[in-house]
């Protein structure tokens, strides 16, 4: 006896539900949400957590510019302590900072207790260590970085030689660049400090930045500053250099590039001029908010990996790429995001997620993705796996064949596992924000050509990292040495709750 089955009515999805169903593997999301009570930004690519940034309870001051007072000069370590706010002392290395220009007395090359100096925070306080500051003030936008202390003009290493030559010619034509310039001993030392900027750059001779305000400012900017009461005729600009960033090559016209340059120099000159007339402990520039920092970190970065590696290398958010979408479940974050979008003419869609039945974290399985990101074992598609062990001095990554079955030629199997592991190592360095010395123990291979190929692939992969990462070499024992600059805390340390899994 057959049973009659009643036909169910079709389910109609709302427009909002249809959008949520479009979470395909090719879509990329940047989520602003909270995890275990901590606000965070999460980059999800190919349904996998690619990067995570947790916002500290105490906002970062990195980038803030203050007029501080020298409280104590410690000659035996060639350093001093500078008070930037009442009761907040910061460390200033005199060895690394040669720009010493007191604001409350005539400069004589010395730094004395009681001097008022202009400083910029470069590192937040951590544990027992005080925050660090520098006297080499720098300002940047997406195209250029201006830095006090050196007149050198440097270019991002991501620019090709032809691109550097074209930009060099353009800057010469605009009168911004000079090819000959004498240096004092302090300026020569400052050139060596330029590599501490956020972007890597070449040290090839490429000219020197013009130092005259009327050259560095457009007529409109010069008129505007004079209308604000700034005496540009008597103002002498301290030695200032520049880094030309990768995004200059993406500029649509020379006029647009000059506009970005003049806007930055106007901000820089106004700040240095005003500093001479402000009182001690004045904050001339506040640090960017956490959301602004994340968007600047993600925006405009395109993966430039070799074509044969493109599918395996994570690509950061391009703020003008519609494949990306920003989603947040926090109204305050949504308002800040929309304001940033309007001010920077971003085309990327921003959406406020509101669903009392299903949270944003649950929708994208953030809990599971985060625990996977913190797990010491990382499985590879081939069946092999990595074991990641951070220690006090360095981080060790061990590559194992695991469940991978040997083929007819074990060496081919080892080469395949190692190449896959190299891609995963580059991915994990960014995801976990590992820094310092990293030692990778790959599976031993007999062929020197296989080892050379492995190093070549690994070097190509880490070049795409926005943080300076260098593959040193492979030791006789088969250990690959990597160094990665420390910009912020590793992922596991950013999580300030007790039940994190390591």
For residue 35, the Cα-to-chain-centroid distance in whole angstroms is: 22
pLDDT in tens, 235-264: 888 999 999 988 888 777 888 899 999 999
Residue carrying the six token digits 């501080």 = 68
Residue 289 pLDDT greater than 70, yes or no: yes
Residue 73 pLDDT greater than 70, yes or no: yes
Spatial contact of 41 and 30, defined as CB atoms under 8 Å apart: yes
> Residue 51 burial (CB < 10 Å; 0-12/13-18/19+)?
buried
pLDDT in tens, 181-235: 555 545 555 545 544 443 444 445 578 999 898 899 988 999 999 898 888 888 8
Residue carrying the six token digits 């990292």 = 465
Strands 324-328 and 28-35: parallel
pLDDT in tens, 168-189: 999 998 889 887 655 554 555 5
Residue 452 pLDDT greater than 80, yes or no: yes
Residue 28 neighbours by CB under 8 Å, 6+ apart: 43, 44, 45, 315, 317, 323, 324, 325
Spatial contact of 160 and 199, defined as CB atoms under 8 Å apart: no
Mean pLDDT of 397-423: 86
Q: What is the pLDDT of residue 302?
A: 35
Spatial contact of 245 and 264, defined as CB atoms under 8 Å apart: no
pLDDT in tens, 114-166: 999 999 999 888 778 899 999 999 999 889 999 998 889 999 887 888 889 89
- Measuring CA to CA, how many Å separate 349 from each of 28, 330, 332? 12, 16, 17
Beta strands across the sheet bearing 28-35: 48-54, 38-45, 28-35, 324-328, 350-352
Please choose, from the candidates 324, 332, 331, the residue with its C-alpha nearest in 3D space to the C-alpha of residue 349: 324
Of residues 494 and 366, more confidence is placed in 366
Residue 390 CA to residue 486 CA, distance in Å, equals 14
Residue 70 neighbours by CB under 8 Å, 6+ apart: 80, 81, 82, 111, 112, 113, 114, 115, 116, 117
pLDDT over 90, % of the chain: 44
Q: What is the pLDDT of residue 190?
A: 52
Q: What is the pLDDT of residue 1?
A: 46
Residue 61 CA to residue 83 CA, distance in Å, equals 14
Helix (H, G, I), strand (E, B) or coil at 423: helix
Residue 49, token pair as written in the block = 């957590």
Please choose, from the candidates 223, 221, 98, 212, the residue with its C-alpha nearest in 3D space to the C-alpha of residue 149: 98
pLDDT over 70, % of the chain: 82
Computed over every residue of the chain, the mean pLDDT equals: 82
Residue 4 pLDDT greater than 60, yes or no: no
Mean pLDDT of 349-359: 91
Q: What is the pLDDT of residue 47?
A: 87
């Amino acid at each position: 006896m057959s049973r009659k089955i009643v036909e169910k009515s079709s389910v109609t999805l709302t427009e909002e539900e249809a959008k949520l169903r479009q979470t395909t593997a090719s879509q990329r999301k940047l989520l602003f949400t909270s995890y275990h009570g901590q606000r965070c930004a999460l980059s999800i690519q190919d349904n996998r957590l690619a990067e995570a940034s947790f916002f500290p309870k105490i906002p970062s001051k990195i980038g803030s510019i203050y007029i501080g007072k020298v409280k104590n000069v410690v000659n035996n370590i060639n350093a001093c302590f500078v008070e930037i706010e009442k009761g907040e002392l910061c460390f200033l290395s005199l060895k690394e900072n040669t720009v010493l220009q007191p604001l409350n007395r005539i400069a004589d090359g010395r730094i004395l207790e009681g001097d008022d100096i202009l400083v910029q925070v470069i590192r937040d306080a951590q544990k027992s260590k005080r925050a660090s500051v520098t006297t080499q003030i720098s300002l940047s936008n997406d195209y250029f970085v201006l830095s006090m202390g050196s007149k050198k003009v440097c270019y991002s290493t991501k620019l090709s030689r032809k691109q550097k030559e074209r930009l060099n010619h353009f800057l010469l034509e605009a009168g911004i660049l000079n090819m000959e310039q004498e240096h004092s001993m302090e300026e020569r030392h400052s050139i060596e400090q330029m590599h501490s900027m956020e972007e890597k750059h070449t040290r090839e001779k490429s000219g020197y930045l013009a130092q005259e305000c009327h050259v560095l400012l457009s007529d409109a900017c010069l008129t505007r500053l004079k209308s604000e009461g700034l005496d540009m005729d008597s103002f002498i600009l301290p030695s200032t250099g520049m880094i030309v960033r990768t995004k200059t090559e993406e500029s649509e016209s020379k006029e647009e590039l000059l506009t970005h340059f003049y806007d930055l120099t106007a901000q820089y000159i106004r700040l240095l001029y005003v500093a001479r007339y402000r009182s001690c402990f004045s904050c001339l520039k506040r640090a960017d908010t956490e959301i602004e920092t994340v968007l600047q970190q993600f925006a405009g970065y395109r993966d430039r990996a070799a074509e044969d590696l493109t599918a395996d290398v994570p690509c950061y958010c391009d703020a003008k790429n519609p494949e990306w979408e920003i989603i947040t479940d926090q109204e305050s974050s949504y308002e800040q995001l929309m304001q940033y979008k309007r001010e920077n003419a971003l085309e990327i869609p921003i959406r406020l997620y509101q669903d009392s039945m299903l949270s944003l974290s649950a929708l994208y399985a953030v809990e599971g993705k985060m625990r996977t990101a913190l797990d010491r074992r990382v499985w590879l598609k081939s069946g092999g796996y990595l074991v990641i062990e951070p220690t006090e001095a360095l981080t060790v990554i061990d590559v194992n064949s695991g469940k991978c079955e040997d083929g007819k030629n074990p060496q081919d199997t080892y080469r395949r596992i190692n190449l896959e592991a190299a891609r995963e190592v580059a991915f994990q360095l960014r995801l976990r924000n590992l820094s310092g010395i990293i030692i990778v123990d790959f599976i031993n291979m007999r062929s020197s050509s296989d080892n050379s190929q492995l190093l070549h692939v690994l070097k190509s992969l880490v070049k795409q990292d926005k943080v300076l990462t260098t593959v040193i070499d492979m030791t006789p024992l088969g250990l690959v040495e990597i160094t990665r600059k420390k910009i912020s805390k590793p992922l596991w340390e950013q999580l300030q709750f007790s039940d994190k899994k390591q």
